[in-house]
Amino acid sequence: MAFLVDLLQVLVGVIIGGVIGFLVARNYMKKMIKKNPPINEQMIKAMMTQMGRTPSQKQINQVMKQMTKYMD
């Protein structure tokens, strides 16, 4: 009987640790992405140039605004 209680305590501890670890890792990743966005203006300009378009600064700003809106 004591073995089952110990086993249950270990399982509950592992589950709680997994949930807490997931939440901490998720918050850390959100902060990192907000601090270092994966796409910047130079990347957008290069992508539009590769697609055969010559982007204006206004177009780049619009795309950046859409990306930041999507990230929030």
Q: Tell me how far the alpha carbon of residue 1 is from its chain's centroid.
A: 45
Instruction: Enter the tokens of residue 15.
Output: 């589950």
pTM: 0.56
How many domains in the chain?
2
Domain enclosing residue 68, as ranges: 39-72
Q: Are residues 30 and 60 in the same domain?
A: no
Orientation angle between helical segments 57-71 and 41-50, nearest 10 degrees: 120
Same domain, 7 and 29: yes
Those residues with Cβ within 8 angstroms of residue 44's Cβ, 6 or more apart along the chain or in another chain = 55, 60, 63, 64
The CA R_g of the chain, rounded to the nearest whole Å, is 23
47 and 25 part of one domain = no
List the Cα angle 22/24/29 in 5-degree steps.
95
How confident is the model over 36-66, as pLDDT tens digits? 877 888 899 999 999 998 889 999 999 888 8
Which pLDDT score is estimated for 72? 64
